Amino acid sequence: MMVDIQELPYSISLESIVKNIKEKKFRVLRPIDSLLQDRINKMKNIRNWTQSGEPFSIVPSPHSHIISVVVPLPSSSDLYQDLATKMQVIGGGIQIKSIEQIRNPRLEGLYEFMKTNIAGQCPQSNSKERYLFHGTKTDAVQGITDYGFDDRYFSSSGRWGHGAYFADDPRKSHGYINLNPQDQTRVMLYAKGLLGIQSVQNTDNPSLNASPIGYHSVQGTGGQYEEYIVYRYGQALPYLKVTYTA
């Protein structure tokens, strides 16, 4: 597979490539399955190379006339299996029908800009990127896939005001998802979010329409589930689309 090394988020300079070869470092550019894991083990244990960073699951860019594409994630990959396991807490005989990776270069470029910007304002330049669940109505999924978590459509009735709400427990997000009457499925989004410096709040604050001064996000506590709220467009990126029945 050809990869454009000048395109975010996969961009890498020629100097970095040469440096990695000299230092015997490699990076994984597709989902890890048992076959790939064997090759990684060989690189590490026999050839004494070091794996650099987290694995990328690369999906080629869509045609310029197409905003976004979704590509099935192999069910044999570690990412698929890990996410499917996390979803089991929903109960109700849940069955995963598909997990698809979302590719949207425009949103990815904006997200990478926000990541750099927020990291520059955080201790140790840590943007506190998290992978979180998001529940929404069926007819909103395509809009989020194409245009992201747009602040014009953020929830205004949440406990912490006008923001995009996420959870680390899929049971919380499941409660906001309606049933597709055509095939009886539901769709949950698995997103990347930049939490940065978090304002932890254990009482409702519905008047918020931005993070408190000096913070990048709100972590809502005090309920059955933790909630994570961002208030700026581009601060979260739709990453995976999970179709399931429950």
Residue 101 CA to residue 202 CA, distance in Å, equals 34
User: Does 145 lie in the same domain as 125?
Assistant: yes
What is d(CA 27, CA 103) in angstroms, rounded to the nearest whole number?
20
**79 and 53 inside one domain:** no
pLDDT > 70 fraction of the chain, expressed in percent and rounded: 89
Contact 118, 40 (CB under 8 A): no
Record the pTM.
0.78
- Domain housing 146: 64-245
Structural domain count, the chain? 2
Which residue among 58, 80, 96 closes a domain? 58
**Which CATH number does the domain housing residue 80 bear?**
3.90.228.10
Whether residues 183 and 89 share a domain: the answer is: yes
> What is the pLDDT, as a whole number, of residue 191?
98
Residues 14 and 89 both lie in one domain:
no
End-of-domain residue from the set 20, 41, 58: 58
Same domain, 172 and 133: yes
∠ Cα 100 62 74 (to 5°): 25
154 & 203 share domain: yes
In tens, the pLDDT along 36-47 reads 788 888 999 998
One domain, residues 172 and 111: yes
- Do residues 135 and 27 share a domain? no
Provide the pLDDT for residue 148: 97
139 and 46 belong to one structural domain: no
Distance of CA 204 to the CA centre of its chain: 26
Beta-carbon contacts of 112 under 8 Å, excluding residues fewer than 6 positions away, are 8, 9
